Amino acid sequence: MPPESSANKTSVEERLLASIDLIDATQACTLLRIETDDPEGVLQAMARGGAIITLTQNGRTIVPLFQFDTELGRVFDVVLDLLKLRPCRISNLRLAYWMTRAHVDFGGPPADRFGKDDAAIVAAFGRYIEPVRHG
């Protein structure tokens, strides 16, 4: 059987993005109660300031919905803590992956525990990013 064409394979990034609830820049600004004519510019500025996780899909800025406290219309404080702690070698995509995959400490994804177990999430992320040292 011939190997499947690489053009037909879905990339890892595409599969990951498909597994996360994502909203576009306009929806994010609405959720955050930000009125603007340039929602993508606003979110990109917030991302540069370490205030939000943004991703890119087909050239458009998108954001994972899990980072928002939809009742209060804001980004969860723990997301800001994780962004401050995150080393530059961890991309937004990899951070989103870590937040949405089952974790032994929480019995599910850390993102499901935002606003409830924030200190434990920050501690678990600290262990995740700790460099491996061999004696």
Mean pLDDT (whole number) for 91-95: 94
Residues 120/106, Cβ–Cβ less than 8 Å = yes
For residues 95 and 101, the answer to whether their CB atoms sit within 8 Å is no
pLDDT value, residue 8: 53
Q: Can you give the pLDDT at residue 57?
A: 87
Report the predicted TM-score, pTM, of the whole model to 2 decimal places. 0.84
Structure-model confidence comparison of residues 118 and 59, the more confident one: 118
User: Residue 133 above 80 pLDDT?
Assistant: no
Rounded Cα distance between 78 and 42, Å, is 21
Instruction: Give residue limits of the domains in the chain.
Output: 12-129
Whole-angstrom distance, CA of residue 35 vs CA of residue 130: 39
| pLDDT 10s digits, 1-36 | 455 555 555 688 888 888 899 999 999 999 999 999
pLDDT at 106: 93
The Cβ of residue 107 has, within 10 Å, a number of other Cβ atoms equal to 9
Query: Exposure of 91 by Cβ count < 10 A (0-12 exposed, 13-18 middle, 19+ buried)?
Result: exposed
In whole angstroms, give the CA distance from residue 50 to residue 56: 16
Question: What does the pLDDT look like over 55-92, one tens digit per residue?
Answer: 988 888 999 999 999 999 999 999 999 999 999 999 99
